[in-house]
Amino acid sequence: MNYSTVLRKKSFSGQKHNQAINLLVYGCEIQKIASGNKFEKLFIYLSHEISYHLVYIINQYTNYIDLRKIRFITDDIRDTKKFTDDKSVLLQIFVNEECWYLKFANQTLKELWWQGLQYFYTKAKEDLKEKLQIQLMAWEIFTKFDEDRDGFLNKEEQQVFLNWIKFVYPDKNLIETKCIQSSFQNKLEYKQFEEIIKLLYEQSILINLNKMYLNSENLLTEQDFKKFINTAQRKQQTDGFFGFPMTADKFYDFLFSQQNSIFEIGNSDEMTKPLSHYYINSSHNTYLTKDQLSGDSSVGQYVIALLNGCRCFELDCWDSYFDKNPVIYHGFTLTSKILFEDVIMALEKFGFMFSSYPIILSLELHCNIDQQEVLGQIMRTQFKDELYIYEQGLTVLPSPEKLKRKFLIKSSGILEESYNLHQNNQVIRKNMMNLENTKLQNTIQLIQIDQDPEPGLIKEIAQKQRINNKALKNLNYENKQKQYMRHDAICDFKMTGDQVDMVIHCSMNVKHHPQFLSCISLFNSPFEFNKKRTIWNISSLSEDKVDQIFKGGKVKEIQNHLNNSLVRIYPSGLRMNSSNFDPMPSFILGAQIIALNFQTKDEPMLINQARFQQNLGCGYVLKPKYLIEGLDDINNFEFQKKLITIQIISCQLFLLNTKNTVNSFVTVKVKGNKMDENGQELQTNIQYNNGLNPQFDSNYSKINFEIKDVDQAIFIFKVFNKQDDNKCTIIGQYAVPYKNMRQGYRAIPLKDENLLVMEYCYIFAQVTIQ
């Protein structure tokens, strides 16, 4: 699902409307940023054949942009390090998951082009509402093979079309015969071609439903349509207005429309519970476009994450060696650097454009004391009243509703090698409340902790010392008693009662600047379940620790602990390729912040997308009741067992660029509580040489799932192509939570390998719930 696909409207002068339209129609030369931050020239114009396509030519190669895929446009460019040019001539366009930077000859040309693009984007949206899906499909196929653009398919063009058909349809001879019969003087015009495409797609889907609901004239009356909705679809009514009697074409269009999707949008969750009662859509290494060794960093990745519903972002902050502007990148690697200030400005500008619920910034700090002061100044200057300052005296965290349009800063430690502190220590601080800018009167209570000379070794804290800010540079703890504590260890570490409120940890010498500390509202601390701590403490655990929790049999204790405490789960450091871990165990544990690599499109990310499609895609999902009530034993919770029957009927595929035979089959499985998975998985029979409208044998396409934990269950559908070498590649995939799954004959919209919605591609299935 694309959480935000609404183009931000900008007002333009009506006097230049015609100029703007002509600029798009006839085209112009623009520069697009390429690898190495260099610009390459492209010529771009509106397609004359498909009105919702922009054609662009780079180095004699022709490609297109589907206007429907443009998600966001802005000229408020925040990638300062990327550009030294005049930013007034730049546009930033988000197309699906890509961020495009376009450079124009002058500002006037940029404004005209933007105005024209906005006009045709809006027009395309309106025009497409009037067309049936089958008509759009037929026109795109026709346009691809009408190479001379004369409005006909001549004999040679028909042959190219038939060469494609042989890869995706088992009966090429039937289609060849239809082409010959429909041609006049060896030319096939569009209207006849459209009928052939309808034959390919519609007939197989409607053949059974026609018998039940369409009359002898192949029409569907309003009464019969209501019967279909009530009996087959298990609904009392359907949204939208339909003209009756409904033709077979329109009935087919309805079956594969958003209105008949398997996903039920549903009601919004209650948003007045404490923050710890919600799953929060969260990203890891948000700034990266690829892997964490050599991938580019980009401010645009934060905007893309926002567009995908993310509400918790990671910022790895490092010193800049050339100026006083801290940078973000994956330290000690070849990843490129972006400015911390650019990211903060982008988040302030766009953070609440798509959701008004709070944003959490997880800062991994490696900055010296001076540049840390800069971090604090930037956040206070940019966020102003939107920066949340934690409240004393609260016993539970505020709700997402109360925290609307607020930024919460989560802090780790800082690095400062130049001061005389004992190496490898951690600092616990108390009562760092209400520090204002550079006011230094407040004192900070510090306790020295050395990090981990022996894994897991823990000694008791004894020594405390009160200091003021002026003494920070001269601190020397070498003669103080120390405590050893393993980073992110699950331990029974004994805190010093009410005297210790906040914990900040890091892996090297630590010192904090009040300007920065005054911005923090969530404080990193070791993970200590069943121990007293403030509501503002947050722990971080690697995915490996979650596995240990399940193996150690402490699941229910930690589930109850996380009812009032926040935890962030992050990927193992061994995932150098930025792959993701399975988030489902962390969901079941009740972890709120499960940080995944948004740039990696794998099954864990598919599951995450399904989870956060819930609650209107706002980035927050209320945890299940049994995780909130604090049960002594989860086995005492009365799960409402459901029996779900899924029958895969067919697929509608649109593989216009395939050059190989497609042998398709479908799989269905459930991810969720272990008691529900049980290795159940459906695999249909293989439909050889059919990548268009494969029909599946009813004897091999039905499965029953018995689900107890319906709050966690997510159903995963995948369409595969079994290639000649017996390797199976994914054609499309989709995941839907049980709680949002509709009954009846439903269309399951497919996403490609990059988790982008595939136009006109669906699984058609019947779902029954008992």
- The predicted pLDDT at position 384 comes to 96
The mean of the pLDDT values for the chain is 83
Across residues 11-30, what is the average pLDDT?
A: 90
> Do 125 and 138 fall within a single domain?
no
- The predicted pLDDT at position 529 comes to 72
Across residues 197-218, what is the average pLDDT?
A: 78
**pLDDT grade, residue 149 (50/70/90)?**
confident
Q: How many CB atoms lie within 10 A of CB 147?
A: 12
pLDDT digits (tens, 9 = 90+) for 422-480: 233 233 233 333 333 333 333 333 323 333 333 332 223 223 333 333 333 333 433 33
Residue 479 burial (10 A CB sphere; 0-12, 13-18, 19+): exposed
Across residues 651-661, what is the average pLDDT?
A: 92
Per-residue three-class SS string for 509-531: CCCCCHHHHCCEEEEECCECCCC
SS3 189: strand
Q: Is the pLDDT of residue 488 over 50?
A: no
297, β-bridge pairs: 288
Sheet holding 728-737, edge to edge: 681-683, 664-671, 714-722, 728-737, 744-751, 757-769, 642-652, 702-707
Question: Which phi and psi (to 5°) does residue 182 adopt?
Answer: -90, -10
Question: Is 1 inside a domain boundary?
Answer: no
> Do 94 and 203 fall within a single domain?
no
Weakest-pLDDT range from 62-71, 311-320, 494-503: 494-503
- Give the total number of structural domains in the chain: 4
Handedness of CA 325, 331, 333, 335 (dihedral sign): negative
> Do 406 and 468 fall within a single domain?
yes
Residue 353 burial (10 A CB sphere; 0-12, 13-18, 19+): middle
pLDDT digits (tens, 9 = 90+) for 285-314: 999 998 888 888 999 999 999 999 999 999
Between CA 375 and CA 382, with CA 381 as vertex, the angle to 5 degrees is 90
Across residues 232-257, what is the average pLDDT?
A: 84
> Do 158 and 122 fall within a single domain?
no
- The predicted pLDDT at position 501 comes to 33
Question: Which phi and psi (to 5°) does residue 765 adopt?
Answer: -140, 160
How far, in Å, CA of 274 to CA of 622, rounded?
A: 10
> Do 84 and 183 fall within a single domain?
no
Question: Which phi and psi (to 5°) does residue 167 adopt?
Answer: -80, -25
Specify the DSSP element, H or E, that contains 346.
helix 340-350
Predicted TM-score (pTM) of the model is 0.84
Question: Is 283 inside a domain boundary?
Answer: yes
Q: Is the pLDDT of residue 80 over 80?
A: no
Q: Could you tell me what percent of the chain has a pLDDT over 90?
A: 60
* Structural domain boundaries, residue 537: 275-628
Task: Please report, for the domain that includes residue 559, its CATH number.
Answer: 3.20.20.190
> Do 91 and 159 fall within a single domain?
no
> Do 204 and 317 fall within a single domain?
no
Task: Please report, for the domain that includes residue 56, its CATH number.
Answer: 2.30.29.30
Question: Is 576 inside a domain boundary?
Answer: yes
> Do 608 and 657 fall within a single domain?
no
> Do 400 and 527 fall within a single domain?
yes
How far, in Å, CA of 587 to CA of 621, rounded?
A: 11
Question: Is 2 inside a domain boundary?
Answer: no
Question: Is 211 inside a domain boundary?
Answer: yes
425, β-bridge pairs: 450
How far, in Å, CA of 673 to CA of 582, rounded?
A: 12
Q: Could you tell me what percent of the chain has a pLDDT over 70?
A: 83
Instruction: Give the closest residue to 468 by CA, choosing from 502, 429, 505.
Output: 429
Last residue of a domain, one of 75, 96, 129: 129
**pLDDT grade, residue 608 (50/70/90)?**
very high
Question: Is 600 inside a domain boundary?
Answer: yes
pLDDT digits (tens, 9 = 90+) for 375-433: 999 999 999 999 999 888 999 999 999 999 999 999 864 333 333 322 332 332 333 33
> Do 674 and 596 fall within a single domain?
no
Q: 3-state DSSP: the chain helix, strand, coil percent, rounded to 5?
A: 30, 25, 40
Question: Is 263 inside a domain boundary?
Answer: no
> Do 614 and 643 fall within a single domain?
no
Question: Is 167 inside a domain boundary?
Answer: yes
Number of residues written out for the chain: 770
How far, in Å, CA of 674 to CA of 672, rounded?
A: 6
- The predicted pLDDT at position 36 comes to 64
> Do 619 and 755 fall within a single domain?
no
Task: Please report, for the domain that includes residue 145, its CATH number.
Answer: 1.10.238
Last residue of a domain, one of 573, 601, 628: 628
Q: Note whether 32 and 100 are within 8 A (CB).
A: yes
How far, in Å, CA of 557 to CA of 573, rounded?
A: 27
Q: Is the pLDDT of residue 689 over 80?
A: yes
